[in-house]
Amino acid sequence: MMASSPDDSLRPRVGLIYDERMCRHTTPDGEAHPECPERIRAIWKKLESEGIPRRCVVLNAKKVEDKYLASVHTQNYIKLIKNISSKEFDSRRQRIASKFNSIYLNVGSSEAAYLAAGSVIEASEKVAKGDLNSVIAIVRPPGHHAESNEAMGFCLFNNVAVAVNYLLNEKPELGIKKILIVDWDVHHGNGTQKMFYKDPRVLFFSVHRFDFGCFYPSGDDGAYCMIGEGPGAGYNINIPWEHGQCSDADYIAVWDHVLIPIAKEYNPDIILVSAGFDAAIDDPLGGCCVTPHGYSLLLQKLMQFAQGKIVMVLEGGYNLKSIANSVLACAKVLLQEESVGSIQTATFKSTWRVIEAVRHELKGYWPVLDVELPQNLLITNSRPCPAEVTYSSSESDVENDEGTARTINFSDFVEDDVLLPLSKLKIDEGNHGKVIASDQVQEEESLSASEASHDAELVTSNEIVDGYITWRSLLSKVEVWYASFGSNMWMPRFLCYIEGGKVEGMSAPCCGSLDKSSPKDVIWKIVPHRLLFGRSHTRTWGAGGVAFLDPERSTSDKAYLCMYRITLEQFNDVLLQENSLHQENGIIKQMASPLLDLHILEYVAKNKSLPLEALKDGWYSTVLYLGKEDDLPILTMTCSASDVERFKSGELPASVPAKDYMNTLVNGLVEGKQLTREEAVAYVNGAATWKL
């Protein structure tokens, strides 16, 4: 029973679409996957348990017609998805799925994809006509990553793009001329952006984790400088978060200072929300913490536009409880039932930075942005950025033997050893935050004790936590030899860790280092350590073993090393990439503090090897000091001594490298003029079959 009995004619008319058939898109062998049928079931069950459907208009799902898909997707691609579930494709389905990035396919996929796109058309048409005020389309598979001839990121058809084109091109009589798409899924809506990049009839707004290009779908497409092109210039707006943990306050700030002012000026005829709920608190992929109340406020702020014509379309969102509660909160807002709650956190400093950058980028197109934000807003209402290294992942085949998202906080060890030495730094203010070591400060500039401690505090509590620039600028002045003994011996492969990208055989690109300058020198060396091949599978290379160097010296062994002269800053970026999954799951984006600074380097040089606590779950977490060359330390990274024990006992599999991985080693040795191709093959095979 409802507490009050509101007049039905006064209540907004809200539509809901849900259809069990969209649950038949599943992984082929029943393996767990975050994008699972339970997602929409959980949402529907929650709405039912709260009596929402009977306060709404429940619409029937509809399959999209091919001619409407054709406004977004190529004929070949439509044919592929249409046929994918038929019997003749039984044997080819897996191979086709594997050609796409983050896609699975089964007998139910085709129908689900057709229903998802068709339902969003149905929803949009009903709202555009004014039959309903708003609709929530609880659909899957999601759509915003799908491109014209490519499935990716769990998406098959771009449901929102198809519906938008339907309104604009097929139903001019409905008078929809300007459409605002708000994509609040935690991932960038690359597919939708591409579709309307040159089209001023569609204002595409996406707020997403970007992590400087390392968060899925990785690359530059989600950057704030991507503002549209030609007549569409100014009509594409990206809000790229620098890191995870963004919450209600960050989203609200972006709404208040970017989206809402622009929406007022744009004055859309209808709004489609690419409503992924993977920025929700406890989402295994997103690493952010938007609450149901937060979502309800974001939605509420949109309802003042387009006479409240809103179509909410489910995209991602992988914590069943969070997505169910978030959709419920949104449904209540659309029904204009009161939402209670308050915002618990402050806005990140990085959020103000992003907002200012976006406003600057777009102010030529949207004059309303051409005013300075009040300074007190920026100073009083902000919190420092996350101070830990964040790995986020949820898919199963990560290189860390773990399938769950996690945050690795710096251990006390790293904190003492990283923060203490850095606290000795002084910021040279006349030099725009450039850092110099305190022992380089000239006599007359030296600080009194109290000033010095004030300064140290400034460094630790402000610049290190928030601006990783300080440690980077310091370590960029220190050079080391990074010695590689595996696939990185091949220069093009190693350069992926510096410049980003991938070589033949790698399944995903690397994000590269922040400083992308090439190694200053490359030399080869032979060391008395055993090379071995272990583990049976990696995300990067697929099946097969990868190279490790036994941290123990043994004069009866020899391993070839290709040594690159790089900066210690770059070494930190390489170390991090080498120890994490690839960016598909969003690897480390920003290192608040270095894993290996001067102090730790000194320790490693003295003790020869050091397992880095902060990377203890990575495969290459041990830094090994192999001596000096040209007075610069030679460093490599390998498994821990205890892993070698586990290889010996058979607890960890020893395994021959796969073809592509093998080729990178052989290419390295041959192009580095160390061995002939035959010798190189023999060397690698020999190492791979050695008995430990």
What residue spans of 590-658 are helical by DSSP H?
598-607, 641-649
Placement of tokens 């029943």 in the chain: 30
Distances (CA, A) of 637 to 263, 480, 537, 609: 51, 13, 19, 9
CA distances (Å), origin 171, targets 125, 128, 166, 273, 309: 9, 9, 7, 20, 16
Identify which of residues 142 and 618 has a Cβ nearer to ligand X5A in the complex.
142
- Give the tokens for residue 46: 């929650």
The CB-of-96 to Zn ion minimum distance in angstroms stands at 22
Choose among Zn ion, ligand X5A, none what residue 530 binds, the Cβ cut-off being 5 to 8 Å by kind: none
Least separation in angstroms between residue 278's CB and Zn ion is: 4
| Residues near 396 by beta carbon (within 8 Å), at least 6 away in sequence | 31, 32, 403
Q: Of all residues in this chain, which one has the CB nearest to ligand X5A in the complex?
A: 316
Please, are residues 349 and 382 in contact by the beta-carbon 8 Å criterion? yes
| Binding residues for Zn ion restricted to 363-422, rule: CB under 5 A | none
- Residue 190 CB, shortest distance to ligand X5A, in Å, is 10
Per CB under 6 A, residues contacting ligand X5A are: 102, 142, 145, 153-155, 185, 187, 216, 276, 278, 315-316, 584-585
In total, the chain counts a number of residues equal to 692
Minimum CB–partner distance for residue 188 and ligand X5A (Å): 10
Q: What CA–CA distance (Å, rounded) separates 8 from 12?
A: 8
Chain position whose Cβ is nearest to Zn ion: 316
Quick one: which of 143, 316, 421, 486 contacts Zn ion (CB under 5 A)? 316
Question: Which of 94/336 has CB closer to ligand X5A?
Answer: 94
Give the shortest CB-674-to-ligand X5A separation in angstroms. 38
Q: Is the dihedral of CA 512, 517, 520, 522 positive or negative?
A: positive
**Cβ distance to ligand X5A smaller for residue 278 or 550:** 278
CB of 316 to Zn ion, least distance (A): 3
Per CB under 5 A, which of residues 161..200 are in contact with Zn ion?
185, 187
Residue environment code for 319-350, b if the CB has 16+ CB neighbours within 10 A, otherwise e: bbebbbbbbbbbbbbbbbbebeeeeeebbbbb
**154 interface partner picked from Zn ion, ligand X5A, none, CB below 5 to 8 A per type:** ligand X5A
When binding is defined by CB under 5 A, the residue of 15, 276, 512, 618 that contacts Zn ion is: 276
Can you tell me which of 147, 221, 248, 278 binds Zn ion, judged by CB under 5 A?
Answer: 278
- The upper half-sphere exposure of residue 335, i.e. CA atoms within 13 Å in the direction of its Cβ, equals 24
CB of 45 to ligand X5A, least distance (A): 21
Of 205 and 216, CB closest to ligand X5A: 216
Say which entry of Zn ion, ligand X5A, none residue 199 contacts (CB below 5 to 8 A, set by partner kind): none
Query: Hey, is 217 helix, strand or coil?
Result: coil
**Toward Zn ion, which CB reaches closer, 244 or 486?**
244
Structure tokens belonging to residue 564: 């690159």
Q: Which is nearer to ligand X5A, 102 or 423 (CB)?
A: 102
Q: Angle at which helices 659-671 and 491-499 pack, to 10 degrees?
A: 100
Q: Count the residues of the shown chain that bind Zn ion, applying the rule CB under 5 A.
A: 5
Three-state secondary structure call for residue 327 = helix
188 is catalytic: no
Q: H or E segment at 98?
A: helix 93-99
Say how far residue 63 (Cα) sits from the centre of its chain: 32
Shortest Cβ 187–ligand X5A spacing (Å) = 5
Task: Tell me if residue 352 falls in helix, strand or coil.
Answer: helix
Among the listed residues 500, 640, 479, 621, the one whose alpha carbon sits nearest the alpha carbon of residue 563:
479
Binder of residue 216, out of Zn ion, ligand X5A, none (CB less than 5 to 8 A by kind): ligand X5A
361 binds, among ligand X5A, Zn ion, none (CB under 5 to 8 A by kind): none
Binding partner of residue 166 among ligand X5A, Zn ion, none, CB under 5 to 8 Å per kind? Answer: none
Residue that the structure tokens 């708000």 belong to? 182
* DSSP states of 12-64: --EEEE--GGGG----TT----SS-THHHHHHHHHHHHTT-GGGSEEEPP-PP
Task: Select 287 or 512, whichever has its Cβ closest to Zn ion.
Answer: 287
Smallest separation (angstroms) from Zn ion to the CB of 114: 21
Closer CB to ligand X5A, 169 or 396, in the complex: 396
Asked if 219 contacts 209 with a C-beta cutoff of 8 angstroms, the reply is no
CB 474 within 8 A of CB 601: no
Measured CA to CA, the distance from residue 192 to residue 232 in angstroms comes to 13
Q: How far apart are CA 621 and CA 517, in angstroms?
A: 24
Residue with tokens 């149905």: 122
Is the CB of 193 or the CB of 460 nearer to ligand X5A?
193
> Pick from 121, 203, 122, 189: which is nearest to 155 by CA?
189
Q: Which of 73, 145, 188, 257 is catalytic?
A: 145
Judged by beta carbon, residue 187 or residue 194, the one nearer Zn ion is 187
Report the distance separating Cα 372 and Cα 354, nearest Å: 14
Q: Is 208 in the site for Zn ion (CB under 5 A)?
A: no
Give the nearest distance from C-beta 502 to ligand X5A in angstroms. 16
Closest CA to 323 of 282, 380, 356: 282
Cis peptide bond prior to 284, omega within 30° of 0: no
CA distance 53 to 32: 29
Q: Which of ligand X5A, Zn ion, none binds 102 (CB below 5-8 Å, type-dependent)?
A: ligand X5A
Catalytic residue list: 145
Residue ranges in contact with Zn ion by CB under 5 A: 185, 187, 276, 278, 316
